[in-house]
Amino acid sequence: MSSAPIAVAPPAITVRHVGREREPVVVIDRATGQRDALVDFAATRSRFAPATEVGSFYPGLLGPAPTAYVDAMVRLVLPLIAAHFTGVPVRPARARGNFSLVTLAPDALSPDQRVPHVDSADRLQFATVHFLSSANGDGTRFFRHRTTGFETIDAERLATFRAALDAQIADVPAAYADGSDGPFEVIDTVDAVPDRLILYRAALLHSGAITALPADAADPRRGRLTGNLFLQCRIAA
């Protein structure tokens, strides 16, 4: 076997502008070149627990990610945020990262888990999804709320959106959101590709694209494993 180094292609970055609001979604393929190592860490060293234990509505399990990985993701996305979202340099104010596994069957979802959501109403908070599975990862969908027409939910829109959704949510069937009917429609879908990372504003309505769960959904080597970053930014002085 040759001892020559293996050439690794650099990341490939594309930008989509989704929906009527033309919100940027940055797609980074070959984001790290470390997918296998990250899956191995998640499978052997990360202790997963139900998301409800930390007050999260995520439909499954969360586990800690390596600090070095979280730091690397922050360094990767900061210039992209400046280039495609803010137009000016930003600095990190707070960052939180973890591994995630979707494990809840559709009939076990709470009403809030059946509809698209935002991670924050702060337009300077950003989120990433890093697809780590070789299979069982359908991607991420982005949505428009039909009644209000909102695709992003910031502080000014939050009360109006919540009031409209509260009147609708009881009628949403027990299923992962697909936009086929009901209060929301799909405006774009980013397919899951191993080592693909997507960056979007945390105020953009979204949901995992989940069509089926494997029997071993709680196994990081076989389930829908993602790495996730939530990054609060400030405009650099």
Q: Domains of the chain, with CATH numbers?
A: 29-235 (2.60.120)
What's the whole-number average pLDDT of the chain? 95
Q: What is the pLDDT of residue 127?
A: 99
Q: Is the pLDDT of residue 2 over 50?
A: no
Amino acid at 57: F
Say what the alpha-carbon torsion angle 65, 219, 29, 175 is, to the nearest 10 degrees. -110
pLDDT-derived band at 137, boundaries 50, 70, 90: low
Section 190-208 average pLDDT: 98
Pairing of strands 139-145, 184-191: antiparallel
Q: What is the pLDDT of residue 190?
A: 98
pTM higher than 0.85: yes
Helix (H) or strand (E) holding 215: none
Q: What is the pLDDT of residue 226?
A: 98
Pairing of strands 12-18, 139-145: unpaired
Comparing 57-71, 153-167, 168-182, the range with the smallest average pLDDT is: 168-182
Q: Is the pLDDT of residue 8 over 70?
A: no
What are the E-state strand segments in 132-179?
Answer: 139-145
- Per residue in 86-126, pLDDT (tens digit) is 999 999 999 999 999 999 999 999 999 999 999 999 999 99
State the Cα–Cα distance between residues 99 and 45, nearest whole angstrom: 11
pLDDT-derived band at 4, boundaries 50, 70, 90: very low
